């Protein structure tokens, strides 16, 4: 028995972009990549590498490393190519006699974070080149790049800790997901929670006073990210804290997963217990 459930509707997803916009985005990416390559070549051939250059390299490495490892940005990269709609597949597990749920989260909303990251990377490469001649120029470019990357991170990092593929096993031994394990009889409830970025539902309409473009983009991005920030949690009887079984889901997928997990738990609880074999007879 195998079933597959996806969150969303059968219509074309909202995240589908027109062809002209996709072409324009790729042209921009290629343009920035070529410029970045040229800067990298000039940097490698530039003389005068010293301890100051090592300090600058360390500062730039920190800008990349902190979001990736400290703030779980690697999960965003691992799911970068996932569809915009989360999904899961349930199949029988011959090893345990129970069920295994393969859960694939939705990718993080990537626009307008992608252009911000591209501009930030371009500025960092320019900072390395210009920094060989002027420390002040390096600091200026570094700060602007830091702002671009920081704003981009605020778009894609909410919910990144739990945005990863998981396998949830339900068998007579209990419910298992990663380092989370719970006996079947100890399961108190399964819930759908919303751990993504929550934004004001009221629309922003430009008026006589004007509305900053950043505010409108942030509100739009927040809604897109929030729609992919649902999670399924499990709570043990007698405990107030819940543990996340799967995150980074769309709402329909999260509710369907919680319902199917509940049915699988009831099915396993309804199975007759296997009596121990008496070897002395």
In a domain, 121, yes or no: yes
In a domain, 9, yes or no: no
The number of beta carbons lying within 10 Å of the beta carbon of residue 217 is 16
The neighbouring-strand residues paired with 244 are 233
Sheet with 187-194: list strands edge to edge.
187-194, 230-236, 242-249
* 132 has pLDDT over 80: no
Shared-domain flag, residues 234 and 214: yes
Shared-domain flag, residues 153 and 172: no
Read off the pLDDT of residues 48-97 as tens digits, 9 standing for 90 and up: 555 667 778 888 888 889 898 888 999 999 998 999 999 999 999 988 88
In a domain, 1, yes or no: no
Q: How far is Cα 11 from Cα 134, in angstroms, rounded to an integer?
A: 55
The more confidently predicted of residues 61 and 8 is: 61
Shared-domain flag, residues 240 and 266: yes
* 182 has pLDDT over 70: yes
Shared-domain flag, residues 100 and 171: yes
Shared-domain flag, residues 46 and 74: yes
In a domain, 280, yes or no: no
Shared-domain flag, residues 146 and 249: no
Structure tokens at 78: 């691992």
Q: How far is Cα 94 from Cα 234, in angstroms, rounded to an integer?
A: 24
Q: Give the three-class secondary structure for 75.
A: helix
Structure tokens at 181: 């394990």
The number of beta carbons lying within 10 Å of the beta carbon of residue 139 is 14
Q: Give the three-class secondary structure for 238.
A: coil
pTM, entire model: 0.69
Number of domains in the chain: 2
In a domain, 173, yes or no: yes
Shared-domain flag, residues 100 and 232: yes
Look up the domain containing 50 and give its range. Answer: 18-78+109-159
Q: How far is Cα 264 from Cα 68, in angstroms, rounded to an integer?
A: 36
In a domain, 276, yes or no: no
């Amino acid at each position: 028995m195998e079933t597959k459930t996806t969150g969303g509707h059968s219509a074309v997803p909202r995240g589908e972009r027109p062809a002209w916009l996709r072409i324009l985005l790729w042209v921009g990416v290629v343009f920035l990549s070529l410029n970045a390559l040229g800067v990298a070549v000039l940097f490698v051939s530039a003389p005068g590498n010293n301890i100051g250059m090592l300090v600058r390299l360390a500062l730039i490495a920190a800008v990349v490393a902190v979001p990736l490892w400290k703030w779980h940005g690697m999960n965003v990269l691992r799911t970068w190519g996932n569809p915009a709609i989360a999904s899961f597949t349930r199949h029988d597990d011959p090893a345990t006699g129970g069920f295994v749920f393969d859960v694939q989260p939705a990718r993080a909303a990537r626009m307008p974070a992608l252009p911000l990251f591209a501009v930030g990377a371009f500025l960092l490469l320019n900072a390395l080149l210009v920094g060989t001649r002027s420390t002040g120029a390096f600091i200026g470019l570094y700060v602007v790049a830091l702002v671009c990357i920081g704003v981009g991170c605020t778009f894609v990092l909410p919910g990144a800790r739990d945005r990863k593929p998981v396998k949830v096993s339900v068998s007579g031994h209990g419910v298992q997901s990663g380092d989370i394990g719970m006996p079947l009889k100890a399961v108190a409830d399964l819930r759908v929670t919303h751990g993504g970025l929550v934004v004001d539902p009221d629309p922003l309409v430009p008026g006589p006073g004007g509305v900053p473009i950043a505010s409108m983009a942030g509100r739009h991005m927040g809604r897109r990210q929030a729609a992919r920030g649902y999670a399924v949690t499990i709570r043990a009887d007698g405990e107030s804290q819940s543990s996340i079984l799967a995150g980074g889901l769309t709402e329909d997928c999260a509710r369907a997963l919680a319902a199917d997990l509940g049915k699988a738990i009831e099915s396993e609880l309804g199975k007759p217990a296997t009596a121990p074999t008496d070897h002395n007879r």
